[in-house]
Amino acid sequence: MEQLKVSTKSSPNSVAGAMAGVLRQDGCVEVQVVGAGALNQAIKAVAIARGYVAAGGIDLVCTPSFADIEIDGERRTAMRLVIEDRLRRPIDQHAISDGALEEFVARESVASEVDGAQTNGHRLN
């Protein structure tokens, strides 16, 4: 499962676009955050992403959990959010409106990069 890392500086619109893209490819996405500000940005992104995929009949849900991670040699507690379809059915790649997602991607990103950070395990700033 692809993991997106969100910080307090992450743009909720950019994160939502990345979420929708990963959902389109993999059917689910995991978001990792540390701190209240990062969690706030991630939750806003989930709400925005729900709008991107709703037209395709997808009802996104978010399942939170805690994770112990290490950052710069320090142990921290992170929150992980698994975002997927409520009914856990495979997401049809064509269910996410091309118009909404492609318009966003053209405006906000270049290839697989979002705001200068690749989504595969990298922080979105």
Interval 104-119: pLDDT, tens: 444 444 333 344 343 4
The domain spanning residue 119 has which CATH number?
3.30.110.20
Range of the domain at 85: 3-124
Interval 50-97: pLDDT, tens: 999 888 888 899 999 999 999 999 999 999 999 998 876 655 555 555
Longest dimension (CA), the chain: 44
E-strand spans in 55-112? 60-71, 74-85, 109-110
Domain count for the chain, please give it: 1
- Global pTM? 0.71
Distance of CA 88 to the CA centre of its chain: 17
Q: Are 80 and 39 in contact (CB under 8 A)?
A: no
